[in-house]
């Protein structure tokens, strides 16, 4: 049996250096040290031997097992190191390679425009507030003094969720919500999305953006409104911009007006942009109607205020000489990436 043991050990000594993977190492371990291995068989059959023989064979078998275990463990360590080296080689990063440029998106032209408008008013001390795109008929119409028969309330002009709930058609409902929650002085602008049942064409979109403005305090007059909008026009369209008021009607303001700015392309001489008139309409405005102040919980005997509202799309289209509003929403990257 000593001979068998020797043979076994020699076999193992020859087999172990040839091992190339952890799987092979495992099967070699099973073959030489496992329950069904020759070594286990030899140890099991030792019962029949004399005491002396048992002692010497036992010693030899244990030595053989230890040697095989050591050889195997060393081999496995080598394999692990080699595997790690291979992996590091395979995954080596060439730090001298030029990097791949990360493509970062740009804000949409409407976002940029809303920010520009908000920034101008921020610089004049206004807070910028956002409101809910879903609002009630009360805030969108009734509280704004819009009579029950006003055409904008029609089912075909407005998106209704129910009789009382709708997608706001203007940012004006925020006037009343702000007044309800603030004691004057109030100075705020509200940029946001609005919705109307309009079929899309070059100048209409069922979803669009407005910026509302509201100022309420003691002694606010039309002169404050004019001064504010004149400053806004200069900061937004250039220092030489002039403004002009035209009388108009809005239910929530009295008196009401529309404001034109001198054409920022031709400077007022008349060109294709201003259709030869030298003026471009940009917003609606007026002194807040006493009924609207009352709806906002503000005493019209003590306070007065002005409000204005402008379309962000219209301003973006004019400023960047874009001739079709639909381009803003078509997600054509060639168009969108032009504005940074």
**Count of residues near ligand DAH by CB under 6 A:** 11
Tokens of 212: 């509302």
**According to the binding rule CB under 6 A, does residue 305 interact with ligand DAH?**
no
Q: Is the peptide bond before 185 cis (omega within 30 degrees of 0)?
A: yes
Query: Residues with Cβ < 8 Å from 286, sequence gap 6 or more?
Result: 225, 248, 250, 252, 253, 254, 255, 256, 257, 306, 307, 308
CA distances from 84 to 21, 27, 80, 94 (A): 13, 22, 6, 18
**According to the binding rule CB under 6 A, does residue 307 interact with ligand DAH?**
yes
Tell me how far, at minimum, the Cβ of 227 lies from ligand DAH, in Å.
16
CA distances from 49 to 125, 248, 260 (A): 104, 121, 117
How close are the terminal C-alpha atoms of the chain, in Å? 87
Neighbours of 191 (CB within 10 A): 23
Tell me how far, at minimum, the Cβ of 121 lies from ligand DAH, in Å.
13
Specify whether the CB–CB gap between 312 and 209 falls below 8 A: yes
Specify whether the CB–CB gap between 129 and 179 falls below 8 A: no
Tell me how far, at minimum, the Cβ of 96 lies from ligand DAH, in Å.
59
**According to the binding rule CB under 6 A, does residue 293 interact with ligand DAH?**
no
**According to the binding rule CB under 6 A, does residue 285 interact with ligand DAH?**
yes
Tell me how far, at minimum, the Cβ of 127 lies from ligand DAH, in Å.
16
Complex with ligand DAH: residue 68 or 282, whichever CB lies closer:
282
Q: Which of 191, 192, 268, 309 binds ligand DAH (CB under 6 A)?
A: 309
Q: What residue is closest to ligand DAH based on CB?
A: 309
Which of the ranges 46-54, 56-64, 230-238, 284-292 carries the binding residues for ligand DAH, by CB under 6 A? 284-292
**According to the binding rule CB under 6 A, does residue 145 interact with ligand DAH?**
no
Q: Which of 37, 228, 253, 304 binds ligand DAH (CB under 6 A)?
A: 253
Q: Which of 139, 232, 237, 250 binds ligand DAH (CB under 6 A)?
A: 250
Hey, which residues does 281 pair with through a beta bridge?
Answer: 260
List the interface residues with ligand DAH, window 189-218 (CB under 6 A).
212
Residue numbers of the site for ligand DAH (CB under 6 A)? 170, 172, 212, 250, 253, 284-286, 307-309
């Amino acid at each position: 049996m000593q001979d068998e043991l020797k043979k076994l050990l020699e076999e193992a000594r020859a087999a172990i250096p040839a091992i190339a993977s952890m799987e092979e190492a495992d099967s070699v371990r099973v073959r030489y040290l496992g329950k069904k291995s020759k070594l286990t068989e030899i140890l099991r059959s030792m019962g029949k031997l004399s005491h002396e023989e048992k002692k010497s064979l036992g010693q030899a078998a244990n030595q053989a097992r230890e040697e095989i275990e050591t050889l195997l463990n060393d081999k496995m360590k080598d394999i692990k190191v080699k595997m790690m080296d291979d992996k590091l080689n395979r995954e080596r990063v060439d730090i001298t390679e030029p990097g791949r440029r990360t493509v970062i998106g740009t804000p949409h032209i409407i976002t940029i425009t809303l920010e520009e408008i908000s920034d101008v008013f921020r610089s004049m001390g206004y807070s910028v507030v956002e409101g809910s795109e879903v609002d009630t008929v009360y805030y969108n119409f009734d509280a704004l003094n819009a009579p029950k028969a006003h055409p904008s309330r029609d089912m075909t002009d407005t998106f209704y969720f129910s009789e009382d709930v709708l997608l706001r058609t203007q940012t004006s409902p925020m006037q009343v919500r702000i007044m309800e929650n603030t004691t004057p002085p109030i100075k705020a602008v509200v940029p946001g999305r609005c919705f109307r049942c309009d079929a899309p064409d070059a100048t209409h979109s069922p979803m669009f953006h407005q910026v509302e403005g509201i100022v309420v305090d003691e002694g606010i007059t039309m002169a404050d409104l004019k001064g504010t909008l004149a400053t806004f026009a200069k900061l937004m369209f250039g220092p030489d911009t002039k403004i002009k008021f035209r009388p108009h009607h809005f239910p929530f303001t009295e008196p009401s007006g529309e404001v034109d700015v001198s054409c920022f392309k031709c400077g007022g001489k008349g060109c294709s942009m201003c259709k030869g008139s030298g003026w471009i309409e940009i917003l609606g405005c007026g002194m807040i109607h006493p009924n609207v102040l009352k709806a906002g919980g503000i005493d019209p005997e003590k306070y007065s205020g002005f409000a204005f509202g402008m379309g962000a799309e219209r301003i973006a289209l004019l400023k960047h000489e874009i001739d079709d509003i639909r381009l803003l929403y078509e997600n054509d990257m060639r168009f969108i990436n032009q504005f940074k």
